[in-house]
Amino acid sequence: MWTELATAAHPEAEFTSPVSAAAIDEIVSRLGQQVPADLRSLLLETDGMLDEFGGDVVWTAKRIADDNIMFRTKPSFADLYQPFDGLLFFGDNGGGDQFAFVPGDPGAGIVVWEHETDKRHRVADDLADYLRQILTVEGDEWYQAY
């Protein structure tokens, strides 16, 4: 389902081999929070998704765990930014802005964290909406104008 949606939006999208349920359970164990059902389903189909320029539209399961831990524990981030505990980052724009779910709030949709301003705001209704937008609109305007 997810690879078909992405390919329909952007035929040059690239996919990797899926992960096991155990790899997703490792994210849950390391972060202490659930992986949203849509993201779990996508990772079981493809462990990450790249655009034609190698941008990480959806990170690998390992990167999801590693980067979220880094965002939550890096001392210098605590001095610069609001806490990241309420977000589950899963992708980026290739220039520093990160995309995230808000675990525990399924109505929050997908949010972006803009790294230069620490601004966080909704950019998509759900994972499918996010994929359609990031894979079809060039540049960052699609989420800055949302």
Indicate the helix (H) or strand (E) that contains 64: helix 61-73
Question: Residue 32 carries which DSSP code?
Answer: T
According to the model, what pLDDT value does residue 146 have? 54
Alpha-carbon span 72 to 49, nearest angstrom: 24
Give the chain's radius of gyration (CA, Å): 14
* CATH code, 2-144: 3.40.1580.10
Spans of the chain below 70 pLDDT: 52-54, 139, 142, 145-146
Q: Are 90 and 46 in contact (CB under 8 A)?
A: no
Handedness of CA 108, 132, 40, 2 (dihedral sign): positive
According to the model, what pLDDT value does residue 115 have? 93
pLDDT digits (tens, 9 = 90+) for 45-75: 999 998 766 578 999 999 999 999 999 999 9
Q: What predicted TM-score, i.e. pTM, was given to this entire model? A: 0.92
Indicate the helix (H) or strand (E) that contains 120: strand 119-124
According to the model, what pLDDT value does residue 52 have? 64
Encode burial over 44-53: b for 16+ CB neighbours within 10 A, e otherwise.
bbbbbbbbee
Type of residue at 134 = I
Q: Where are the domains of the chain?
A: 2-144
Phi, psi values for residue 132, rounded to 5°? -60, -40
Question: Residue 145 carries which DSSP code?
Answer: -
